[in-house]
A and B are shown apart, each in its own frame.
Chain A
Amino acid sequence: MKISEETVRHVAALARLSLSDEEVAHLAPQLSEIIGYAEQLQQLNLDDVAPTSHSLARTNVFREDEPRPGLARDVALACAPDSTDEYVRVPAVLEG
């Protein structure tokens, strides 16, 4: 599987990474090699095999729906790079 530089740029955009031209040139052959190695899984006949997403089969875990104290707002906001007294602040999402 040859992964082109164009594909690398497309995948980077999906992952919200902006890569330099150098990084793209560096990653394309490496990803080709790694994905190429993973191609060996295509040899196996897996028609009736169920996928495993988790080694420990567990279904939903519930608790009683009772209010309890969580992380205080000021403590949570203290971690944010930019905040007001009540909110996290980010660059404008909508123009105008």
Chain B
Amino acid sequence: MSVHTVKEILASLRRKESKPSEWTESALRMIEQHDPTIGAFLTVDGERALERARRLDGEAFDGALFGVPYALKDNICTRNLKTTAASRILESYIPPYDATVAQRLAATQGVLLGKTNLDEFAMGSSTENSAFQLTRNPYDVKRVPGGSSGGSAAAVAAGMVPFALGSDTGGSIRQPASFCGVVGLKPTYGRVSRYGLIAFASSLDQIGPFTRSVEDAAFVLQAISGHDERDSTSAPRDVPDFVRGLEGGVKGLRIGLVTGLDEHGVDAEVQAAVGKAVQTLQDAGAEVVEVHLPHLRYAVATYYLIAPAEASSNLARYDGVRYGRRAAGQSLAEMYENTRSEGFGMEVKRRIMIGTYALSSGYYDAYYRRAQQVRTRIREDFEQAFKRCDVIVMPTTPTTAFPLGEKVDNPLQMYLNDIFTIPANLAGLPALSVPCGVSSEGLPIGLQLLAHWWDEATLLRVGHTYEQARGFAMPLPRMGA
């Protein structure tokens, strides 16, 4: 197995040592060979991808991702290509329009290979909530790839594509990146347009890349960032040159090490790997300071009121009228209920129920409003912390990838796994997961870095510096048993 970064593919294409169609063919071969085991893709659009790549063969190198194959999480709308959100209710939905990110990547002349598996409507931390299939961790196929963007993470880890996009509402890019040993980036809320992203929790959702290196993440972020008038929450701000910003090192930068994480059950090997990574950054010239996030312990409770509340509202649109599946019913109300009950899986129903309860009369102030107030506190914790440091360091997850089936019957245990990723979404901060080691069982460990609002440049620079200095390459996944 040989895998390549976006940078390597671009360099080879630019020097005319290879043709776009060869990269697409080789990616399709990898999918054919490994995806029956891994289950990363819901749709492989092979013929159209080859057609596109062959057309590029005859063209001059142009476009930032010219000829580079990639995949999109299947909650990102693609015109004339099925987009299911891994839900029965959208099982045969073919969007009549492209998400802005899909449009932007097409404009860079990348080659879309297909759509990847996820937890239904991005609700989950293991991809086990997909209505269609399991995705397996390429490092150990008896374990989960993480979620909800498990398909994108596994596809990149397995070398099927050099990059993929996911969405991150409470950790759905960073947690699977950590579990699968790849780089995952959640940009600042508002950096990347959400137009055409099937909404889960609109105040938290953000699209970002999975890649094999931090530098590649900078390439892809550059291509998808920027204001979009079709998403009123996308920020009218200039986009810095992320790739140029990678160099310069960390000398003089202050790294904030979060104290008091022990109470969250951090695995000893995870703790050791993160500690070693902090030492590496210190050796590279960074100054390490301690920071405290007193409301971190309330993040999961806060998130699991706010996100389901927003979801219960967003998912009201699936009523069998304008698109998607419709079930029979004598009356309109019965048709709605039957459609939703047959179309949604158990976790989606659970979250709609939590959200509806938290928003219902008599409980709104006690639950939803209170959660929004704690969200303010969590944001203030970060404001305080960033007075003392430039970048905050934490593990991405308390443990390495857990076995398939282990948490499916215990939703609260599944939710608690998101403790370190949720705060960035509640505050809207950019955050990056970079592989920082492998456990004694051969499972990847992720280092999470968080930076100040809009400062992806510093985030990527610290991540890149660490990656250059860490002194090891991630071992390739075993793929089989």
Co-complex (A, B) = yes
> Which residues of A are in contact with B by a Cβ distance under 8 Å?
3, 7-8, 11-12, 14-19, 23, 26-27, 30-31, 33-35, 37-38, 40-42, 44, 46, 49-56, 58, 61, 63, 71, 75-76, 78-82, 88, 90-93
A93-B412 contact, Cβ under 8 Å, with A18-B337, A35-B354, A50-B373: no
Q: Are B379 and A52 in contact (CB under 8 A)?
A: yes
A to B CB contacts below 8 Å, 12 in the list: A16-B319, A16-B337, A18-B341, A27-B349, A27-B350, A34-B304, A37-B412, A41-B371, A50-B376, A56-B189, A56-B190, A79-B96
Tell me if A79 and B93 are in contact (CB < 8 A).
yes
B305 / chain A contacts, CB cutoff of 8 Å: 38, 41
A39 nearest CB neighbor, chain B only: B301
> Chain A interface mostly helix, strand, loop or mixed?
loop
Contact A88 B376 (CB under 8 A): no
* Distance between A34 CB and nearest chain B CB, rounded to angstroms: 6
Q: Which residues of A contact B426 (CB under 8 A)?
A: 55
B324-357 vs A, Cβ < 8 Å mask (1 yes, 0 no): 1110011111111110110010100110111011
Name the residue on B nearest A20 (C-beta).
B341
B235 within 8 A of A: yes
Instruction: Give B424's nearest chain A residue, CB to CB.
Output: A55
Assess the A17–B350 pair: CB atoms within 8 A: no
4 other contacts beyond A52-B376, A56-B428, with CB at 8 A cut-off? Answer: A11-B357, A17-B352, A35-B367, A49-B376
Closest to A81 in B: B326
**Could you tell me the distance in whole angstroms from the C-beta of A58 to the nearest C-beta in chain B?**
7
Check if A92 sits within 8 Å of B352, measured CB to CB. Answer: no
Q: How far is the CA of A63 from the CA of B232 in the complex (A)?
A: 10
- Cross-chain contact A55 with B357 (CB below 8 angstroms): no
A17 near B349 with CB under 8 A, answer yes
- Known: A49-B376, A71-B96, A91-B331. Is A27-B353 also a contact (CB below 8 A)? yes
Bound CA–CA A56/B427 (angstroms): 9
Closest to B372 in A: A51
Contact of A15 among B96, B233, B356 (CB under 8 A): B356
Chain A residue at minimal CB-CB distance from B376: A52
Q: Of A16, A38, A53, A55, which is within 8 A of B301 by CB? A: A38
A64 → chain B closest CB, angstroms: 11
B321 sits at the interface (CB 8 A): yes
B336 to chain A, nearest CB (A): 5
Q: Which residues of A contact B353 (CB under 8 A)?
A: 8, 11-12, 15, 17, 27, 31
A46 touching B374 by the CB < 8 A rule? yes
Q: Are A16 and B411 in contact (CB under 8 A)?
A: no
Among B300, B330, B353, B429, the one with the most A-chain Cβ atoms within 10 Å of its Cβ is B353
- The answer for the CA separation of A88 and B190 in the assembled complex, in Å, is 34
Q: Contacts of B96 on A, CB cut-off 8 Å?
A: 71, 75-76, 78-79
Q: Which of B229, B316, B374 contacts A44 (CB 8 A)?
A: B374
A-B contact count (CB 8 A): 160
Indicate whether B54 reaches chain A with its CB closer than 8 angstroms: no
A67 CB, min distance to chain B CBs, angstroms: 15
Q: Give chain A nearest CB distance to B110 CB in angstroms.
A: 25
Answer whether residue B473 sits at the interface, using C-beta atoms and an 8 A cutoff.
no
Given known A16-B337, A76-B322, contact A51–B349 (CB-CB < 8 A): no
Within 8 Å of chain A (Cβ to Cβ): is B375? Answer: yes
B375 touches A51 (CB 8 A): yes
Contact of B302 among A16, A34, A41, A76 (CB under 8 A): A41
How far, in whole Å, are A78 and B323 apart by their CA atoms in the complex?
A: 8
Residue contact A3 to B301, C-beta cutoff 8 Å: no
Chain B 193-218 interface mask (CB, 8 Å, partner A; 1/0): 00000000001000000000000000
- Whether B125 is near chain A, meaning CB under 8 Å from some CB there, is no
Least CB separation from A93: chain B residue: B332
A82: nearest residue on chain B (CB-CB)? B326
CB-CB < 8 A to B375: which residues of A? 51-52
Task: Out of B338, B369, B412, name the residue touching A51 (CB < 8 Å).
Answer: B369
Q: How far is the CA of A42 from the CA of B367 in the complex (A)?
A: 9
Shortest C-beta distance, B220 to chain A (Å), equals: 22
CB neighbours (8 Å) of B349 from chain A are 17, 19, 23, 27
How far does the alpha carbon of A27 sit from the alpha carbon of B341 in the complex, in Å? 14
Minimum C-beta distance from B80 to chain A (A) = 11
Q: Which residues of B contact A26 (CB under 8 A)?
A: 346
Residues of B within 8 A of A8 (CB): 353
Q: Are A56 and B235 in contact (CB-based, < 8 A)?
A: yes
**Chain B residues in 8 Å Cβ range of A15:** 312, 340, 352-353, 356
A38 touches B360 (CB 8 A): no
Say yes or no: is B298 at the interface (Cβ < 8 Å to chain A): yes
**Within the complex, what minimum Cβ distance (angstroms) separates B439 from chain A?**
28
B residues within 8 A CB of A78? Answer: 96
Q: Which residues of B contact A56 (CB under 8 A)?
A: 189-190, 233, 235, 428
Given A53-B203, A54-B203, the answer on whether A16 and B377 have CB atoms closer than 8 Å is no
B8 → chain A, closest Cβ, in Å?
Answer: 36
The answer to whether A88 touches B322 (Cβ under 8 A) is: yes
- B330 / chain A contacts, CB cutoff of 8 Å: 91
Nearest A residue to B206, CB-CB: A55
Contact across chains for A33 and B302 when beta carbons are under 8 A apart: no
Question: Is B370 an interface residue, CB under 8 A from the partner?
Answer: yes
The minimal Cβ–Cβ distance linking A83 to chain B, given in whole angstroms, is 9
**Are B372 and A52 in contact, CB atoms less than 8 angstroms apart?**
yes
* Chain A residue at minimal CB-CB distance from B427: A55
